[in-house]
A and B are shown apart, each in its own frame.
Chain A
Amino acid sequence: MAHVLLRHRDIPDINKLEVYKKNGGFDAFKNAVTKMKPNEVTDVVKNSGLRGRGGAGFPTGMKWAFIDNKNWPHYVVANADESEPGTFKDREIMESNPFQFLEGVAIASYAVGATAAYVYLRGEFWQVVAFLDEKIAEMEEAGYLGKDLFGTDYSLKIYTHLGAGAYICGEETAMLESMEGKRGQPRVRPPFPPSYGLYGKPTIVNNVETLTNVPLILANGADWYKKMGTADSAGVKVFSLSGRVRKPGNYELPFGTTFRELIYTHGGGVQDSHKVKAIMPAGASSSLILVDDDKVLDTPMDYASVRTIGGDLGSASVIVVDETVSIDWLINKTMHFFKHESCGKCTTCREGTYWMSHLTERIHEGHGKPADVDLLLNVAKQMQGKCLCALGEFSTMAVVTGIERFREDFDKAVKA
């Protein structure tokens, strides 16, 4: 099947404007601007069943429809902060299929009436920024961005904005704060960005992958898109596969593909033919799914099904853990990551991640007592549901599920 998002794998040089154009590039945008009303664009996206690819899976069209039309101007922000450990899909899209992504940004902007759109990239993506800036300039040159597009009175500029190296800036409100020149710390939600976003104005924040879907949805119709994937999770998804697999990488597959197919058919199986012990389906923020029988590997990867086996699909950054990995080591890793990345705004996360990282380290280093494992679990639970934003909540996921589902690893660690 031809790729929808990773089209550069089928069409060489699609990152060149002429090649992209030849392959139907910008037709959808031109058609939308010249022949469709903004709300008609939103309706197509709504009908396609497209859900946000950043992790939360919120219906994209519905989000666009939430924009507050009593308050202007509107902004679109593409979230290219891709910082979740194990997630590397947006980078490939931006580097290799940039025009499709930028066209998606443009269509979203038209749909919500934004005349300025921003691409917020993580600080380490400075080369990507330089590349995107070139591509944006080419689009301006070719008349796809700028004033009075396609002879209408619709104008659009796209700007890139580089972060300064903070995981938290992938959280949409922290990202907006950062763009405004403030400390990258999350705001209290509600209000949500569609009513109070960048500079307090209605703003649509979408993930890179989400937006990259949009041009083809408009070109081929909502029904074409809905036919792929499952009823609950329409379309295709780029799965970032990593961990103890033979062929880690990005794989674009329809929703509903099983873990087994991803890991064994595409990923070449586990290294040294070990058994899968656990799966983190959404990077470091994941719950640890216990793989104790075949049924788990046969679970289709869509939002609803993954929930039935004790996890969330999130951004679909599938980290495979095999029996060579001790879970106390694993959560010590994730805890140090979250401690390092906690922004410090709310007490729960600031103090909780610091405390937990000491506990996981003590346990992993073999200085812990059995009571420390219970304490760690208790501290994690004490954090749950009490943090200002999702980062703090996420930091507890691997800890809680790790201890609850892989207790023996911890018992071993504290006995040693």
Chain B
Amino acid sequence: MSKQVTLTIDGKQVTVPEGTLVVDAAKMIGIDIPVFCHHPKLEPVGMCRMCLVELGRPMRDRNTGQFVMENGSPKIQFMPKLETACTTKVEDGLVVLTQSAKATEGQKGTLEFLLTSHPLDCPICDKGGECPLQNLTMAHGPGKSRFIYDEKKHRDKMVPLGELIYLDRERCIQCARCIRFQSEIAGDSVIGFDERGRSTQIVSFSDPGFDSVFSGNTSDICPVGALTTADFRFGARPWELEAQASICTQCPVGCNTTLNTRREAKAGGKIVVKRVMPRQNEEVNEIWLCDKGRFAYHYAEGKARLTKPQVRKDGKLTRASWEAATKLAAENFLKAKKNFVILASGRLSNEDLFNLKTLSEHSEGKAYLYSHMAGGELTSLVGVGEGTNFGKMGAGTTIVVVASNLYEEAPIWYLRVKQAAERGANLIVMNARETKLDKYASFVVRYAYGDEVKTVNDLSKKSKISDSFLKSENAVILYGSDGLGVSGSAAVASACAKLLHDNDSVGKPNNGLIGVWGRANDQGAWEMGFEVEEDLAKVLKGKAVYIVGADPVADDPKLAKALEGAEFVAVQDVMETATIEIANVVLPAQAFTEREGTLTSGERRVQRFYPAVPVTGDAKADFAITSQIARHMAVVLEGTSVSAVFDILAESVKSFEGLNYDKLAEVKPQWPIVGRGDLYYGGTTYENAQGMGVQLSAAAARGEKLSIPRVQKEAAPRPKENELLAVPVTKLYDRGTTVRPAELLHERIGDASVVLHPDAAKELGVEAGQTVNVSFNGVSGEAVVKLDDTISVGVALIPRSMGLAIREPVAVKVK
């Protein structure tokens, strides 16, 4: 433990770790020193001069070095000038006065200076009501300005820094929180100051503007209304908003969020989500969100929502009662016997997946997870162990990232891994192409697509890199599916699990394997015992299929064909999809914003989400629909209470043993303190009062005997002459069902693309930006050429979910 230091602030004694800043020490004992530029997550700069305090130190006798005593206690010598509490570190015996006449005068002066250039347009400002400048002015400011309005410097308003973030240059107080967040935390230095003095202004110097997937966070920590999101600006006043706790469903990180809702005329008097805000969980997302999580929530409110059950009559879908629709589905599933197949995705909650899996077990059916990535049975075997927290990793921990572009696949993990590396963790990045994380790695291993398993296995052979891994106290491996399909990722997972197991890096905190899954609750599906199938078309053809939360028809023409040949198709989803076009029964499900449930993150943390808006139409929660179908099949599944489903789940699934909704709702004190009335300090991030979740135990930690199957990777297909090896990669903003409805993101989603090596492009006679025809596996489509000189000449990268159905490496023709 670090050395403790005791000081006195406004007469209160406080003992804090050495190195703590005075402003933070004060916060810990409930004393609010006003700040603007200081943010507990950022390096101190002392720019805004708001936190001026009086500082005194015990006087020492120059000759003896002893304290000079006065009335039995050390005599305090105060500094002649006020000092900034945000740049001063605590010292033993330090005396801080935050409320003295001198300190108050200094703080008041700074506020008066700030307000001379501020437009004071609070009545129309988005930040009004949750604005640090407004609040601190009320608390510390002068009542009246001595500055003549005519001499105010007028600046540009509504300046788009990018299409997501707008800047009001008049409101900006030049605290640089946004610039510092981007450079220190996000690692995307794409905004900065231009000009100087009173002309100082924020600019973005990237193309496209504000080119970072973390840009929305700057609007949270902006202490004025200078930075607003294109999504929320002029959308609502903060005091009209209700706040409900939720979990982001866009990726496996499981960021804790708050959904701000209000009833509004524009939405026909409905209660709608107005914005998604981060909710503090220092073990998951700290106080940050990526822009996809913040802006892509719109799908749940889309016009294309399914509202009523439907059954196909004379080739047309027609409205039906829940009873009739579920009964029809159940009859067909029963009739199919062994040919009953459930295809469910990781968009569903643990409870939904548990009911589905149980239904398959109590009938003669099979349950498949709709995923392009395998290996989840291994992540639940070898962990990560309970207590794993990227936020605490540093020297002594090795983090291996293999076959994953974290920045695109799970941005908050990227951010946390980057910071762990900056704290001294040994980061090994293994990928077939350059990724943003390379910059922070101790070792970068570049392999050719197809050599993933060999590269992982090399970590057990003698080398400088493997030494750094093997000798590390803790080791975590994150593996993804960059260039991999089901069989490839299964092989990589097995190689990783074996390596960790051999190295005794399993089942313990900060040890184990993490899958960088495609969906939020893929890990949950694995925990329930779902499997993935490489050749889905084969297992769907001619079967009675129950599709839940997936749109295979839109994703892949091969699957569409297989499903056309299916015996019976029931589709259960939130929205109209291409798959309902071939469905015999359509069952409308509730969006995650409308119901309660739990999700299991990639770090195997089970977290609760809560209902925020009323149910759309007659939609039901997925677990309840499944229960109703099951009843018609003489299988009894809990269908009323989601927490009761969870209780049954916890009794049946070993890793969930002992968990219940109360435990998941527990919180513990977190630092920094955010989201209370004093949002000047941490920003508009919400405090976590609704649960930080619980990490599941790994089989390795429960002392179970582990057997890790050796999975042989299938050899990659060999491209013929005039062909390239096409590999699937993941793009953050894609055309997925839960992204596309957010119009704001369309510019970032862009067109379908194919990434080539410049030499390959040259050989094909194509240039960057040119549209080419791409054909493989009987699929053919147009794509825009992009270049990357870090990939091999013989490969072509094709992003998933961008219109070209690619599930695994294939030979491709580019024309």
Residues of A within 8 A of B84 (CB): 188
How far apart are the CA atoms of A387 and B116 in the complex, in Å? 17
Query: Is the beta-carbon distance between A347 and B200 smaller than 8 angstroms?
Result: no
- A49: shortest Cβ distance to chain B, in Å? 22
Asked whether B234 is an interface residue with its Cβ less than 8 Å from the other chain, the reply is no
Q: Mark A176-203, 1 if CB is under 8 A from B, else 0.
A: 0000000100001000000000000000
Q: How far is the CA of A375 from the CA of B144 in the complex (A)?
A: 14
Contacts of A382 in B (CB 8 A): 109, 112-113
**Contact (Cβ within 8 A) B197 A343:** yes
Q: Is B671 an interface residue (CB 8 A)?
A: no
- Report which of A183, A343, A344, A348 forms a contact with B49, defined as CB distance below 8 A: A348
B46 within 8 A of A: yes
**Candidates A344, A379, A387; contact of B197 at CB < 8 Å:** A344
- Residues of A near B52 (CB, < 8 A) are 386
A351 CB within 8 Å of chain B? yes
Q: Are A347 and B47 in contact (CB under 8 A)?
A: yes
Shortest distance from the beta carbon of B290 to any chain A beta carbon, whole Å: 28
CB <8 Å contact, B46 and A353: no
Q: Which of B49, B110, B116 is close to A355, meaning CB atoms less than 8 Å apart? A: B116
A140 and B425 CA atoms in complex are apart in Å by 44
B198 within 8 A of A: yes
* Cβ of A340 under 8 Å from chain B: yes
Cα distance A352–B196 when bound, in Å?
14
A351-B114, A382-B112 are known contacts. Are A387 and B49 too (CB-CB below 8 A)? yes
A352 vs B197: C-alpha distance when bound (angstroms): 10
CB–CB B146/A375 < 8 A = yes
**Chain A nearest CB: distance from B49 CB in Å?**
5
| Contact between A355 and B147, CB atoms less than 8 A apart | yes
Residue A315 lies at the interface, judged by CB distance under 8 Å to chain B: no
B182 at interface, CB cutoff 8 A: no
- Give the distance in Å from the alpha carbon of A345 to the alpha carbon of B82 in the complex: 18
Whether the Cβ atoms of A351 and B46 lie closer than 8 Å is no
B627 within 8 A of A: no
A30 at the interface (CB under 8 A from B): no
Q: Is B80 an interface residue (CB 8 A)?
A: yes
The CA of A382 and the CA of B146, in the complex, are separated in Å by: 13
Please name the residue on chain B nearest to A341 by beta carbon.
Answer: B197
Let me know if A388 and B110 touch, CB within 8 A: no
In residues 444-500 of chain B, which contact A (Cβ within 8 Å)? none
Does B714 sit within 8 A of A, measured CB to CB? no
Q: What are the residues of chain B within 8 A of A343 when measuring CB–CB? A: 196-197
In angstroms, Cα B200 to Cα A342, docked, is 10
Knowing A347-B113, A385-B80, A386-B52 are in contact, say whether A183-B193 is a contact too (CB < 8 A).
yes
Tell me what chain B mostly uses at the interface: helix, strand, loop, or mixed.
loop
* Residues of A contacting B197 in the complex (Cβ-Cβ under 8 angstroms): 339-344, 350, 353-354
Those of B19-51 within 8 Å (CB) of chain A:
44-50
8 Å CB interface, B92-111 against A: 106, 109-110
Contact indicator B82/A347 (Cβ below 8 Å): no
What does the 1/0 interface line of A307-347 toward B look like (CB < 8 Å)?
A: 00000000000000000000000000000000111111111
Instruction: Establish whether residues B49 and A386, one from each chain, have CB atoms under 8 Å apart when the complex forms.
Output: yes
- Bitwise, B41-75 to A at CB < 8 A (1) or not (0) is 00011111110100000000000000000000000
Q: Which residues of A sit under 8 angstroms from B46, Cβ to Cβ? A: 188, 346, 388
Of B80, B110, B174, B192, which one neighbours A386 at CB under 8 angstroms?
B110
Instruction: Give chain B nearest CB distance to A64 CB in angstroms.
Output: 24
Say whether B117 faces chain A, with CB atoms less than 8 Å apart. yes
State A343–B147 Cα separation when bound (angstroms). 21
Is the CB–CB distance between B80 and A352 below 8 Å?
no
Q: Which residues of B contact A387 (CB under 8 A)?
A: 49
B47–A346 CB distance below 8 A: yes
Instruction: Report chain B residues within 8 Å CB of A348.
Output: 49, 109-110, 113
* A341 to B52 alpha-carbon distance, docked (Å): 24
By the criterion CB–CB under 8 Å, are A344 and B198 in contact? yes
* Chain A contacts for B146, CB-based, 8 A: 375, 379
User: Quick check: is A358 within 8 A (CB to CB) of the other chain?
Assistant: yes
Point out which of A168, A340, A385 has the most chain B C-beta atoms below 10 A from its C-beta. A385
In angstroms, Cα B88 to Cα A188, docked, is: 10
Q: Are B81 and A385 in contact (CB under 8 A)?
A: yes
Q: How many residues of B contact A (CB 8 A)?
A: 36
- In contact, B113 and A188 (Cβ under 8 angstroms): no
Contact present for B196 and A347 (CB under 8 Å): no
Given contacts A188-B44, A339-B198, A385-B80, contact A351 B113 (CB under 8 A): yes
Distance (Å) between the CB of B441 and the closest chain A CB?
22
User: Mostly helix, strand, loop or mixed at chain A's interface?
Assistant: helix
Contact B110 A354 (CB under 8 A): no
Q: For B435, what are the chain A residues with a Cβ–Cβ distance below 8 Å?
A: none
Interface contact B198-A347, CB-CB below 8 Å = no
Whether A204 is near chain B, meaning CB under 8 Å from some CB there, is no
Whether A216 sits at the interface, judged by CB under 8 Å, is no
Which residues of B sit under 8 angstroms from A347, Cβ to Cβ? 47-50, 110, 113-114, 173-174
A36 to chain B, nearest CB (A): 32
Distance A411 CA – B173 CA, assembled complex (angstroms) = 35
Nearest CB of chain B from residue A102's CB, rounded to whole Å = 32
Residues 369-413 of A, flagged 1 when their CB comes within 8 A of B and 0 if not, give: 000000100010011011110000000000000000000000000
A388 to B44 CA separation, bound complex (whole angstroms): 13
Which single residue of chain A is at the shortest CB-CB distance from B200? A344
B652 at the interface (CB under 8 A from A): no
Q: Determine if B87 and A358 form an interchain contact, defined as CB atoms under 8 angstroms apart.
A: no
In the complex, B15 has a CB within 8 A of chain A? no
Contacts of A379 in B (CB 8 A): 146
In this complex, the member of B52, B112, B173, B192 whose beta carbon has the largest number of chain A beta carbons within 10 angstroms is: B112
Interface assignment of A50: CB less than 8 Å from any CB of chain B: no
Residues of chain B lying within 8 A (CB to CB) of residue A166? 196
Given B80, B117, B195, B199, which contacts A351 in the complex, CB threshold below 8 Å? Answer: B117
- Which residue on chain B has the smallest CB distance to residue A183? B193
Contact A351 B116 (CB under 8 A): yes
**Residues of chain B from 662 to 682 with CB closer than 8 A to chain A in the complex:** none
**Complex Cα distance A65/B45, Å?**
28
**B192 — which chain A residues lie within 8 A by C-beta?**
183
Closest to A385 in B: B81
A351 CA to B114 CA in the complex, in Å? 7
A383 partner residues in chain B, CB cutoff 8 A = 109
- B338-365 contacts to A (CB < 8 Å): none
| Cβ–Cβ contact A386 & B82, under 8 A | yes
Evaluate whether A345 and B47 lie within 8 angstroms (CB atoms) in the complex, with A188-B84, A350-B174, A350-B197 already known.
yes
Q: Report yes or no: B81 in contact with A344, Cβ–Cβ below 8 A.
A: no
CA distance A96 to B110 in the complex (A): 46
Q: How far is the CA of A388 from the CA of B195 in the complex (A)?
A: 18
In the complex, residue of chain B having the shortest beta-carbon distance to the beta carbon of A349? B197
Residue among B52, B106, B116, B173 with most chain A CB within 10 A: B116
Contact of B196 with A344 in the complex, beta carbons under 8 Å:
yes
Q: Indicate if B12 sits at the interface (CB-CB under 8 A).
A: no
| Interface membership of chain B positions 149-189, coded 1 if the CB is closer than 8 angstroms to chain A and 0 otherwise | 00101000000000000000000011000000000000000
User: Could you tell me the distance between the alpha carbons of A358 and B152 in the complex, rounded to whole angstroms?
Assistant: 10
**A388 contacts B81, C-beta separation under 8 Å:** no
B112 neighbours in A (Cβ, 8 Å)? 382
Report the bound CA distance from A206 to B151 in whole Å.
40
Contacting residues, chain A, for B114 (C-beta < 8 A): 347, 351
Q: Which residues of A contact B147 (CB under 8 A)?
A: 355
Bound CA span A188–B29, Å: 26
User: Which of B44, B116, B148, B193 meets A344, CB within 8 Å?
Assistant: B193
Task: Determine how close the nearest CB of chain B comes to the CB of A378; give it in whole angstroms.
Answer: 8
Give bound CA distance, A385 to B46, whole Å.
Answer: 14
Mark A128-172 against chain B: 1 for CB-CB distance below 8 A, else 0. Answer: 000000000000000000000000000000000000001010000
14 inter-chain pairs at a CB distance below 8 angstroms, sorted by A residue, are: A339-B197, A341-B197, A344-B195, A344-B196, A344-B200, A347-B50, A347-B114, A350-B113, A351-B113, A351-B117, A354-B117, A355-B116, A385-B81, A386-B49
**7 other contacts beyond A347-B49, A358-B151, A386-B81, with CB at 8 A cut-off?**
A188-B44, A347-B114, A348-B110, A354-B117, A375-B146, A379-B146, A386-B109
8 pairs of A and B residues whose beta carbons are closest in the complex: A344-B200, A351-B113, A342-B197, A385-B81, A354-B198, A382-B109, A188-B46, A358-B151
